[in-house]
Structure 1
Amino acid sequence: MSLQAIKASCSNCNLRELCLPIGLNEDQMQRIDTIVAVRRKVKRGSLLFHNGEPFSSLYAIRTGFFKTCVATEDGRDQVTGFQMAGEIIGLDGIVNDRHTCDAVALEDAEVCVMPFDRLEELSREVTVLQNHVHKVMSREIVREHGVMLLLGSMRAEERLAAFVLNLVQRLHARGFSQSELVLRMTREEIGSYLGLKLETVSRTFSKFVEDGIVEVKQRHIRILDTDALKRIVNSQRCD
């Protein structure tokens, strides 16, 4: 794997509001800068970390897109999540000091390495940072709970509509369009994540196109009717 270490600097990073709490003073920012001293490049298809690897750091994604996955008993990859720039990856390793999944770059990516022991040490002194770390962990728990609900009770259309809305909402928080996105993952990977077969994902996208809800050109998706997607997701509450 081709890795390149570069001096990182949180204080002038355009994603700092997404990674770090607002309200840190200059001294606190400089102290975080000394912890997050290294950036790491990860080539498309390469692993950032693998299942069973000893846990030492969290990673703030600076550029690029990742998927996390675990190998099932029959050797298939089960996708457990997709992570993008401005999000933290690696929280799975905190519980048992070992990572419980593989993190694979879906495109060339760069991450900021945050050694967890030093982050913990500083967060005990800087309350606002400690609260932020807890919020990040809580958000991950809520996200996983949401996925379980998605898989447990939703039909294929509802799952895919919820997935597209969630993705575009997260991208919009990073300054991207509210109505257009490029899928970094394959339809097969989407199916693995949503518990759907590849054919079902393709068929459901085609239905959305027929209904005039989205335009699809390979991996480019343009949402024509956001409200229709929301109605699909909320339809089960009205049943």
Structure 2
Amino acid sequence: MANPLQPVAGAALDPATVRVACSNCNLRELCLPVGLSADEMQRLDHLIATRRRVRRGATLFSAGDPFTSLYAVRSGFFKTTVTTADGRDQVTGFQMAGEILGLDGIVQDKHSCSAVALEDAEVCILPFDQLETLSREFSALQHHVHRIMSREIVRDQGVMLLLGSMRAEERVAAFLLNLVQRLHARGFSRSEMILRMTREEIGSYLGMKLETVSRTFSRFQDEGIIEVKQRYVRILAPQALEAIVNQADTQL
């Protein structure tokens, strides 16, 4: 079985008519509840029947699009963005395999942000009306949907903390630790990663100028905390990054 964490080469933009079984996916514990019976899993497999492939730079959905489905990222990376009043694109998050896109559309039945692939990617489509019906029947599924929503609220609170109270080095340290921890949960290295996003996109997310992001990376490298080669980052001293973040916590 191919590793779904690998990028999809030559991906088409149109939805694929390929069936996918959650029961056979090695990401199911990240994006779907455990403990479902065989019958419940079969019905869930029937619900999540198709995948969509999205090429690098292409949009999965745009702000203002009608909301019909949630999307479980099967492979690749995405960024979500909103357009500010002065026409700038503000990055609001980065999503990877095993995470859910589209929750922003539930409130007003239309998407409030856009989701753009940072590399060739693939998502599983979860029609929301059918997911709601099934959730009312399976308490484990309903609880899991609530957990996903709660996780997004907690993540948004974390971003507000970054933007509102942390200095530049504290924001970058927290960002790197969070990213490598999420990747490690998916079977990747605990200390090495390839950044799918640009320094400019990191700055947009963290509320920093491009020059400040680059200067902070260089400072961390000079101090022996990380090793940087273009988009390759190796964390040499995770305890140093943690100390920087913990210092920010004690100042609140």
* TM superposition score normalised by structure 2: 0.93
Partner of 1:232: 244
Tell me if the contact between 1:179 and 1:222 (Cα under 8 Å) persists in the aligned partners: yes
Instruction: Write the deviation string for residues 154-208 of structure 1: whole angstroms up to 9, x where unpaired.
Output: 0000000000000001001101001001000000000000000000000000000
Which of structure 1's runs of 4+ aligned residues deviate more than 4 A? none
Tell me if the contact between 1:5 and 1:41 (Cα under 8 Å) persists in the aligned partners: no
Q: Percent identity?
A: 70
Q: For 2:198, which of 186, 189, 205 is the aligned residue?
A: 186
Residue 113 in 1 paired to residue 125 in 2? yes
Residue 89 in 1 paired to residue 101 in 2? yes
Residue 21 in 1 paired to residue 21 in 2? no
Measured in 1, the distance between the counterparts of 2:198 and 2:32 equals 30
| 5+ residue gaps, structure 1 | none
Query: How far did 1:73 drift?
Result: 1.8
Partner of 1:162: 174
Residue 62 in 1 paired to residue 82 in 2? no
Specify the SS of the correspondent of 1:204.
helix
Tell me if the contact between 2:13 and 2:52 (Cα under 8 Å) persists in the aligned partners: no
One-letter amino acid of the counterpart of residue 225, structure 2: I
Measured in 1, the distance between the counterparts of 2:184 and 2:145 equals 22
Partner of 2:4: none
Query: How far did 1:237 drift?
Result: 3.2
Partner of 2:216: 204
Instruction: Tell me whether 115-124 or 70-79 shows the greater mean CA deviation.
Output: 70-79
Instruction: Tell me whether 23-32 or 4-13 shows the greater mean CA deviation.
Output: 4-13
Alignment of 1:210-229 (within 5 A): 210-229=222-241
One-letter amino acid of the counterpart of residue 195, structure 2: L
Specify the SS of the correspondent of 1:6.
coil
Residue 142 in 1 paired to residue 145 in 2? no
Measured in 1, the distance between the counterparts of 2:68 and 2:59 equals 15
RMSD of aligned Cα (Å):
0.8
One-letter amino acid of the counterpart of residue 197, structure 1: K
Q: For 1:10, which of 11, 22, 32 is the aligned residue?
A: 22
Query: How far did 1:9 drift?
Result: 1.0
One-letter amino acid of the counterpart of residue 210, structure 1: D
Query: How far did 1:236 drift?
Result: 2.3
One-letter amino acid of the counterpart of residue 117, structure 2: A
Partner of 2:163: 151
* TM superposition score normalised by structure 1: 0.98
